Chain A
Amino acid sequence: GGIITQTPKFLIGQEGQKLTLKCQQNFNHDTMYWYRQDSGKGLRLIYYSITENDLQKGDLSEGYDASREKKSSFSLTVTSAQKNEMAVFLCASSIEGDTQYFGPGTRLLVL
């Protein structure tokens, strides 16, 4: 089996700050994803990447950048954190469009 790790576990930022979240997987999956989970809502896709150096926008990409430097890692950057923003960011990986496996999440709070 494999595992997905996300760092940091908790992220506290200031309004306007650029914040970077990291994700690593050892499943050897080609495709990786970043989702945002807000309380009372489902997961919404921010970015995904079907192979190294590929980037595809999801429905929620505005305000975010992503980077897939190598197959095992996928980074997400909040370009300008919004005051009072609070959400959980989930990373996932899969073989093409098949079952996705999720990381534990990064909890973001912007003061």
Chain B
Amino acid sequence: GEQVEQLPSSLIVQEGASVLINCSYTDSASVYFPWYKQEPGKRLQFIIDIRSNMERKQNQRLTLLFDKKTKHLSLHITATQPGDSAIYFCSAISSGSWQLIFGSGTQLTVMP
């Protein structure tokens, strides 16, 4: 079945820095890739998504890049703030499936 690998597992940066979170998947039938953020003590929050017919999507300081050939995604966060500190999860779902497969998460810490 589908496997999703996410790297790095943790990142510590200074406020204002940019970060890159990478995600790779194995199932070429995967068509939809939502990303979630989980702040301490809070519920998972949807932040951005991309479909397999797109290469790039931007939402304010978030940019999501998708490479179908290499089965790779990367989430770029610019001008980080302490409020961005959270665990970030990538996920993938295949066409016709309801099962979302998650990566193991990236713990981002932004130091003021």
Contact = CB atoms under 8 A, between A and B. Distances in A.
A101 B6 CA distance: 21
Nearest to B6: A42
Given A42-B4, A43-B89, A58 B99 contact: yes
Interface stretch (A17-25, A71-79, A90-98): A90-98
Contacts of A4: 43
Interface of B: 1, 4, 6, 9, 32, 34, 36, 42-46, 49, 89, 91, 93, 96-100, 102-105
Contacts, number: 57
Given A50-B98, A98-B32, 5 more contacts: A48-B99, A58-B99, A96-B98, A97-B96, A97-B98
Interface residues of A, number: 27
A84 to B, nearest CB: 22
B102 A104 contact: no
Interface string A56-94: 101100000000000000000000000000000010101
